[in-house]
Structure 1
Amino acid sequence: MGVFTDETEISSAIPPARLFKAFVLQADNLIPKILPHAISSIEIIEGDGGPGTIKKINFAQGNGYLKHKIDSVDKENLIDNYSLIGGDGLSEKLEKISFNIKFLASGEGTLVKRTSTFHTKGDSDIDIEEEIKGDKEKVTGLFKAVEAYLLANPNEYN
């Protein structure tokens, strides 16, 4: 198995605790609401919502799903750790992708530091640069969609 790591930083005008609450703690409700063309629902298929919980992220219009496992959530330090472990949105050459996301105060907003660790299956020949590029585009788009929603709805997720 090969292991490849990438780091991404995303800036946001939203304060860290509010962005963490919306993006991590309330994502199951918020993401399908703001991106219905991409994600139809997020449901718990195993666990109680804490570490070890497995969620199924259903893509819109029956275009498949992803399985997401919660590894840990640190509400005090605003850190989220989870893994994509299966489904149609995970390349068949990848065993999983693990993420560590930290929400840090930066001026009046947030600096999101995200470390992605790609675990390949066996000696799979994979274009890791293409995987990383696609992952960065998706996550940046998702954060910007959440940020836009929070800016337009200043009384939510406080």
Structure 2
Amino acid sequence: MGVVTYELEINSSIPPAKLFKAFVLDSDNLIPKILPQAISSVEILEGDGGPGTVKLITFGEGSQFKSVKHRVDGIDKENFTFSYSIIEGDALTDALESISYEIKISASPDGGSICKNISKYHTKGDAQIPEDKIKSGKEKASGIFKAVEAYLLENPDAYN
């Protein structure tokens, strides 16, 4: 099994605590509400939301995939870090064993945030991941982040 690692960094004018609440802690409710075409529902299959929790993510009608199972690996509300893995589902394709993500939201000098996302694609055998698939994944992740940011800018009293 190989591991292909990609990093994505996005700056935001939203403070870290508020962004973490919306983008991580309440994402199961917020993202299907503001982006139903991307994610139509999130259902907890086991656990309480903390590490070990397994969720079924059902994608919206416009997605090329139907669903994935996602496991919470770690969450630190004080340091604004969150890690999870895609452990099952059609988004893994024939080439992938799993995909793990690490998100860290930190304060930027201007009072906003810097969101760093490290994605690790665990391949089956010596399978290769086409660059366009990685680029597409980064664009989708960035789009979801920007939609959450836009929601927070339009609703300044949310998640205080």
TM range (shorter): over 0.9
Code of the residue aligned with 2:78 in structure 1: it is E
Matched residue SS, 2:32 = helix
Counterparts of 2:152 and 2:44 in 1: how far apart (Å)?
24
2:41 corresponds to which residue? Answer: 41
| 1:123 positional shift | 2.1
- TM-score, with structure 1 as normaliser: 0.94
| Structure 1 residues without counterparts, runs of 5 or longer | none
Deviation beyond 3 Å, 4+ runs, structure 1: none
2:14 corresponds to which residue? Answer: 14
| 1:47 positional shift | 1.5
Counterparts of 1:33 and 1:126 in 2: how far apart (Å)?
31
Counterparts of 1:28 and 1:111 in 2: how far apart (Å)?
22
Q: CA RMSD in A?
A: 1.4
2:124 corresponds to which residue? Answer: 121
| Structure 2 residues without counterparts, runs of 5 or longer | none
Provide the aligned length of Structure 1 versus Structure 2. Answer: 157
Code of the residue aligned with 2:44 in structure 1: it is I
Matched residue SS, 2:91 = coil
| 1:144 positional shift | 0.1
Counterparts of 2:6 and 2:60 in 1: how far apart (Å)?
28
Matched residue SS, 2:125 = coil
